[in-house]
Structure 1
């Protein structure tokens, strides 16, 4: 639990116990809440995001887990591309930190607004009416505390989503640098509890041509029934999309309906030479 959340809870308990006594007292608690929120600097979140995404980067690049989605690509290639991939990591860290900061400020302002409106509506402690509003006041206080707790929750959500985007962008750099021909979509719609998108489920195991690839330029391949990869949203592009694609780099792995007559003849000629 963050210091911001703790301070909000203390403020709520104070007003439940003492009621609203003066504007000065309300402003004092508003100031304490604001100070605790500002005490958690953007550098703290930058460090948290950096640690999480760097850990994922190490798995995908340094330990070469990304190669599972790029059959035929070597570990040497990953090492060669590391400067480009490291730049993508740095970009993703900064973007994540900015987004968390923006969401956090919005949540803080919302919490302060709700708290001020709630606290100023509670009768003073010497009023008999205070006893009568305790139940409702506590329900409202719980709602206020949840909005404060949302700050940490949203930060975690951003990191999860940005991690998906980091992995997808690492894959994109590798695929682009190595002239991938096509991509096969994989959805996690079978995973229990996964909130999949229906259109992403429909893409599962379908092949999409990468526009302008070397094989297309040579007349060997064409778009199949699913079309081009750039005609749909990309893996990780939509919020909390956990889909991924495996990339195709050779004609042997291309579905037959995506091969042109020229491509089929080329494959036959290659087979006859073996």
Structure 2
């Protein structure tokens, strides 16, 4: 970034000393600025950068099994079986992240050039101002260069923000694939609203620890469960769907783990029936053994 700021200060100094005299001069300086900005990050490295960051997150979730903590009941075998799908999601997210960073970077460059061009064309020609830079003009030049460079300095910051956001989106999509193929029947929303200084969304705070039914799951088809007060998961925005959302879901795979209000009478009768069978089996074994 230092090379760009240096180039920008030289450009501002030039226009303060000579004024806006020709379009050719402005084009020359804007091209120099654009080149200095584009040299900040090699576009060819964007894919490798996003790949390295997202693959590290993927390896933690899948390779080291962190995702299983959000999917109690799902086995390591299931993760291995789903790996082709999960790997495809990783590849898709890498491409999307690299494209988004490139777009944001181009917009930051264009914004910087636009600010500079607007400022430069406002400087009167040399015949209407004194030659050279006064002390106040030099101060102004430095301040102006810092202001104009603000959007360019955001490049690294925005790139990091994009990667944080894309990592959460990757994890959310990984969870969705595991839940879908693993047969999840409900999901519990978790918000970070208790975390100090976390800029949470109020609707997401209100969802914290609510249990959402997954529409069309096997337990509903068997009549063992019903939708609870929170409703269906597909009726709300998903974790990571909104920009910089860090919420996550933990998934429920068996009816026993559901809140009572989501269990049906048919389920209760089914459980009672199994208990009766168990008691009869126990009595049979006792009789058989002379008890």
Normalised by the length of structure 1, the TM-score is: 0.91
Aligned pair 1:225/2:229, yes or no?
A: yes
Match of 1:235 in 2: 239
Distance 2:64 2:244 in 1: 24
Q: Find the partner of 2:178 among 174, 191, 204.
A: 174
Distance 1:57 1:145 in 2: 35
Distance 1:41 1:271 in 2: 67
Decide which moves more: 135-144 or 55-64: 135-144
Match of 1:13 in 2: 9
Secondary structure, aligned partner of 2:188: strand
User: Aligned-pair distance for 1:273?
Assistant: 4.6
User: Aligned-pair distance for 1:17?
Assistant: 4.3
Distance 1:159 1:198 in 2: 24
1:273–1:135 Cα change, 3 Å: farther
User: Aligned-pair distance for 1:20?
Assistant: 4.3
1:271–1:247 Cα change, 3 Å: farther
1:184–1:243 Cα change, 3 Å: same
| Alignment check: 8 A CA contact 2:17 2:132 kept | no
Distance 2:184 2:100 in 1: 32
User: Aligned-pair distance for 1:142?
Assistant: 1.3
Distance 2:275 2:52 in 1: 49
Match of 2:145 in 1: 141
Normalised by the length of structure 2, the TM-score is: 0.86
Decide which moves more: 109-118 or 225-234: 109-118
Match of 1:87 in 2: 88
Decide which moves more: 214-223 or 5-14: 5-14
Match of 2:287 in 1: none
1:62-73 to 2 correspondences below 5 Å = 62-73=63-74
Match of 1:43 in 2: 44
Decide which moves more: 56-65 or 40-49: 40-49
- How many residue pairs get aligned? The number is 270
User: Aligned-pair distance for 1:25?
Assistant: 4.5
Q: Mind listing any 5+ residue stretches in structure 1 that lack a counterpart?
A: none
| Alignment check: 8 A CA contact 1:186 1:205 kept | yes
Aligned pair 1:193/2:197, yes or no?
A: yes
Q: Find the partner of 1:127 among 126, 131, 146.
A: 131
| Alignment check: 8 A CA contact 1:251 1:267 kept | no
| Alignment check: 8 A CA contact 1:189 1:201 kept | yes
| Alignment check: 8 A CA contact 1:20 1:119 kept | no
Larger Cα Rg: Structure 1 or Structure 2?
2
Match of 1:61 in 2: 62
